[in-house]
Amino acid sequence: MAAVQAYQVSPMIYDLKPAGAGAATIIRVRNDGEKPLTIELEVEKRSFDENAVESRTPADDDFVVFPLQAVVQPGKVQAVRVQYVGKADLKQSETYLVTVKQVPVALPDQKESGVQMVFNFSTMASIVPEGAKPEVELVSSVRDAKGLELRLRNSGSRYANLVSSKVMIGGKPLSDEAWRGALRTVWLFPGKDRVIRIADVPASGEIAFEYADPTA
């Protein structure tokens, strides 16, 4: 088996504006390996259903990425310009994945039967209109034999990061470990609901939810 090629990508999460100078950023790919690294980039639109199941759809027409392919020499950094060129009059944020994909190449010292390990890094680009904010509320809470089911809704205009939010049961906070384990993904996009199931909770006690924006 061939050695794993080590490389880094930054930033991994960033916001862009729908138009103007803020609609572009630079992704940097650093090759920490000992051999040239061949990469290519692709863009997909990202969404989640209410059960946190992710969907991706091709969205290359919404971005200009340059260079789209590159060979990064050992110890070097490749700058990639990423510019949003999609719909400018957005009413709410839209989220995409700009993925750096390692391209397997035939190496002179690699046997024909060898397997080359490759890694991809998906960076998250959110297109956020001016003044957009999340508004997350608890729509319902239901107890059953399996535990507690919460339905949250983001009625705002920007994505929400739920990682720092708090659930209170009978006046006592749910542990951060239990909350993060139940989330599956921290992202709740605008206009969407999220159903969160939490096991092993008290059978009684008032349920309260408080959204805390970690970026505020």
- CATH code at 182? 2.60.40
- Which of 74, 92, 127 is a domain's end point? 127
Q: Which residue, among 130, 136, 133, has the nearest Cα to 22 in the 3D structure?
A: 130
Instruction: Find the range with the poorest average confidence among 109-118, 127-136, 140-149.
Output: 109-118
> What is the domain-level CATH number for residue 22?
2.60.40.10
Model's pTM, two decimal places? 0.90
Of the residues 101, 127, 153, the one at which a domain ends:
127
Residue 145 lies in a domain: yes
H helices of 61-145, in order, are none
Q: Do 52 and 101 share a structural domain?
A: yes
- Does the structure show a pLDDT above 80 at 102? yes
Residue 121 in this model has a pLDDT that exceeds 90: yes
Q: Is 52 left (phi over 0), alpha (psi -120 to 50) or beta?
A: left
Mean pLDDT of the chain: 92
Across the range 55-80, mean pLDDT stands at 97
* Residue 96 identity (one-letter amino acid): Y
Burial of 195 (0-12, 13-18, 19+ CB in 10 A): middle
In a domain, 183, yes or no: yes
- Average pLDDT for 86-114: 84
Alpha helices in the chain (DSSP H): 176-183
96 and 151 together in one domain: no
Q: Do 43 and 11 reside in the same domain of the chain? A: yes
Q: What gap in Å lies between CA 151 and CA 1, rounded to an integer?
A: 46
- Classify residue 36: in a domain, yes or no: yes
Tell whether 39 and 85 lie within a shared domain.
Answer: yes
Read off the amino acid at residue 143: R
Cα(20)–Cα(40) distance, rounded to whole angstroms? Answer: 26
pLDDT band of residue 114 (cuts 50, 70, 90) is low
**pLDDT at residue 146, as a whole number:** 87
| Residues 139-194: tens digit of each pLDDT | 999 998 889 999 999 999 999 999 999 999 999 999 999 999 999 999 999 999 99
Same domain, residue pair 49 and 70: yes
* Residue 115 and residue 141 in one domain: no
The answer to whether 113 and 3 are in contact (CB under 8 A) is no
Q: Is residue 107 part of a domain?
A: yes
Where in the sequence is the domain holding 190, given as residue range(s)? Answer: 136-211
pLDDT bucket at 202, cuts 50 / 70 / 90: confident
Point out the domain boundary residue: 94, 127, 160: 127
